[in-house]
Structure 1
Amino acid sequence: MSNKEKVAFLGPKGTYSHQAALQQFPDDTKYELIPVTTIPTCFENLLYDDNISYCIVPLENSTNGQVVFTYDLIRDVLKQDQVEEENLKNDDKYQNRINPPITIVGEQYVKIDHCLVVADEEIASKHDTNKYVNLYSHPQVWGQVTNYLNTTLKGKYQNRIDCKSTSEAMIKCKEDAANGIQSLAIGSITGSKMNDCCVIEKGINDLKGNTTRFLTFSKKNRLLEIPVNPEDASKDNNMTLLTFTTLKDGPGSLVEVLNIFQRYNINMTSISSRPIGVTGKWQYIFYVEYEFDHKLPWKEEILSEIDSSCLTWAMWGVFPRDNGYYI
């Protein structure tokens, strides 16, 4: 039996998610990367499969914004029965705090450099005159290559087909070629190599420097040597994610929470929200990321103020800011 820690990522191999997993876990003597079919499956495996130690999922893209699947899954983790059971044993002083069963321990930034590919060199040699039947890619890709689709590829293909991943798009392209159908796919150079496809053109995304940010989650008993709670952290250049719901729906309820960050000079780097979806009332959960300064009085003052200003709140751990953020 392998002693390697197992990491779930959005597969198959050759995707940008696979590249993020390789960046976070480069040592294949310690970690085994397990491809799964969907982002929800990444979370489910981490929550319920004792063999899975980590999962890595996309959070946002510099062009397309939030990956709403991931935001909603973070929200839904707080509804799990095991969270309720854990909080029955909660003996900390914060009455409204929810302790999630998983923790963020890292982030990765992957440059998105889309390529147009075909199944083999024979098809590539006739690209200028070819008319293609299908164009495959992940649905998020379409918004990142709009100009290329409307100019260079205009009139070159009949059908645009969504796939679960860019790697699957290349697999579909190869399957078509085996059946005598000429098709295209859009994905990464890494994916084209892994799937033995031929690159027609590199860098076809509209915005150069397009980047996807990934978060790495862990079971709380298996960390990448990163502290679980902000009150325990002692390293500089750390980040924290806080999720919360407000005490009331009236004016000033959100500002009341955000003013805490201003009073203590805490640098918020992002704020977003998603609907909770409860019956009979329209409510939101808010997501705030901020720089963690270990010298501030978190345990004595700040978290107590957050607790008294929120209906519910959860701290998702402290994780180091990846160098890719500055590139």
Structure 2
Amino acid sequence: MSDSTNKVPQTLPLLRDRIDAIDSQIQSLINERARCAEKVAEVKMADQGDTAVFYRPEREAQVLRRVMERNEGPLGNEEMAKIFRQIMSSCLALEKPMRIAFLGPEGTFTQQAALKHFGKSIVSAPMAAIDEVFREVESGAANYGVVPVENSTEGVVNHTLDSFRDSKLKICGEVEVRIHHHLLVSPNVRSEDVTHIYSHQQSLAQCRAWLDRYWPHAERIAVSSNAEAARLAAEAGLAGRAVAAIAGEVASELYGLIAVSANIEDRPDNTTRFLIVGNQDVPASGKDKTSLLISAKNEPGALYNLLEAFQRQGVDMTRLETRPSLMSRWGYIFYIDFLGHHQDPLSRAVIEDLQSKASEVKVLGSYPVAVL
């Protein structure tokens, strides 16, 4: 008897029945996980009371890493991790919904970063400025905040770095978002009639070559955010004015705009890194990064002496930024990222070495390296 006669016919109805059965199993297991999350909340409240911490950045990073490590496909690792990210977000909301402040308004890439990191089962709190995000978290009105810190094309966000000087907040995580810009118009606007293009100044810079080539005669107007640009374009469209905006998919959906050109950023690898700020230290997750603020002594070789500490201990420094100290003329503050948790032996050795050479060393936080 041939192998073909032993095979069960994989007809469409049979395959659909199989999918329905699998869906039922998945749903049961998700609810079982949710019930476990509720019991976790009960245990934490009984043990810690009002000081109970429900969101554990290091724990979530470990879970998502394991999801990706054991994934066998055909879904990709990141797609599988995104599914579990939302399951975890929904389960955490059963314990205690989190209020997340972010640089607004709604529809910004910062909101996209917040949803990517925390999932969609959060209470969103858009803020008008980066320092407002810090104040919202410092006051306890928000559990965490999300702020941009650097873009692969345009560089560091100085306002974010400067906000750490006097803040007691800790960096609790990071998230990277691929930035895709679209040229958006209101449905009743003809793209060939567009005379003005609104966007944030960084987005205009990230699309400069494309705009020079395809829209050289349109006036470019910088506004406070891409979401604000989308709002203005939608408002102009209702008034019959031919105005376009450069913004992302979230803003497009929020304001009912259509993309006449997609992915117009000059560099296809255009990525923005965002930081998660909170009020507590994060334990080691096994794959971490530490950020420092260092005020160097005003003496010859000061920067060399700082960098030499990393070379001596074999610690990988991943980022170095310089900002004026504002305390003395020609004085500088250094922001440094390196791989490792500040409680690791090698990291402690580096920090102690730096403390002996610098005027001030402030640990801004140790946190899991971005998983998604």
Secondary structure, in 3 states, of the residue corresponding to 2:366?
strand
Distance 2:247 2:166 in 1: 30
Matched, 1:321 2:347: no
Residue 117 of structure 1 aligns with an amino acid whose one-letter code is L
Cα deviation per residue 1:110-137 (whole Å; 9 max; x = unaligned)? Answer: 11110001011x32xx32xx33242110
Q: 2:315–2:347: 8 Å Cα contact kept in structure 1?
A: no
2:15 equivalent in structure 1: none
Pick from 98, 116, 132 the counterpart of residue 183 of structure 2. Answer: 116
CA contact (8 A) 1:75 1:285 kept: no
Matching of residue 296 in structure 1 with residue 345 in structure 2: yes
1:306 aligns with 2:368: no
What residue is the counterpart of 1:15 in the other structure?
108
Tell me if structure 1 keeps the 8 A contact 2:340–2:347. Answer: no
Structure 1: gaps (5+ residues): 78-100, 228-232
* Seq. identity, %: 30
Point out the structure with max Rg over C-alpha: 2
More helix by share: 2
The answer as to 2:157 corresponding to 1:67 is yes
Task: Tell me the C-alpha RMSD between the 2 structures.
Answer: 1.8
TM-score w.r.t. length of structure 1: 0.80
- Larger relative contact order (C-alpha < 8 A, sep ≥ 6)? 1
Corresponding residue of 1:146: 208
- Give the structure 1 partner of residue 301 of structure 2: 252
Residue 241 of structure 2: aligned partner: 181
**1:157-306 → structure 2 map (5 Å cutoff):** 157=218, 159-220=219-280, 226-227=282-283, 233=284, 235-247=285-297, 249-278=298-327, 281-292=329-340, 295-299=344-348, 301-306=349-354
* Aligned AA (2:134): F
Show CA shifts across 1:149-184 (max 9, x none).
1111122x3x32212111110100111122221100
Conserved in 2, the CA contact under 8 Å of 1:176 and 1:182?
A: yes
Residues 57-82 of structure 1, C-alpha deviations (whole Å, 9 max, x = no match): 000000001111111212343xxxxx
Asked if structure 1 preserves the Cα contact closer than 8 Å seen for 2:101 and 2:124, the reply is yes
Corresponding position of 1:37 = 128
Give the conservation status (yes or no) of the 8 Å contact 2:180–2:263.
Answer: yes
Report the 3-state secondary structure (helix = DSSP H, G, I; strand = E; otherwise coil) of the residue aligned with 2:263.
coil
Q: Which structure's residues are more often strand, by fraction? A: 1
TM-score (norm 2): 0.71
Aligned equivalents of 2:334 and 2:230: distance in 1? 37
Residue 145 (structure 2) aligns with: 55
Aligned to 2:174: 107
2:104, 2:111 within 8 Å by CA — same for their partners in 1? yes
Matched to 2:123, the amino acid is: E
Q: Is the 8 A contact 1:104 1:218 kept in 2?
A: yes
**SS of corresponding position for 2:345:** coil
Higher mean C-alpha displacement, 67-76 vs 107-116: 67-76
The Cα shift of 1:239 comes to 0.2
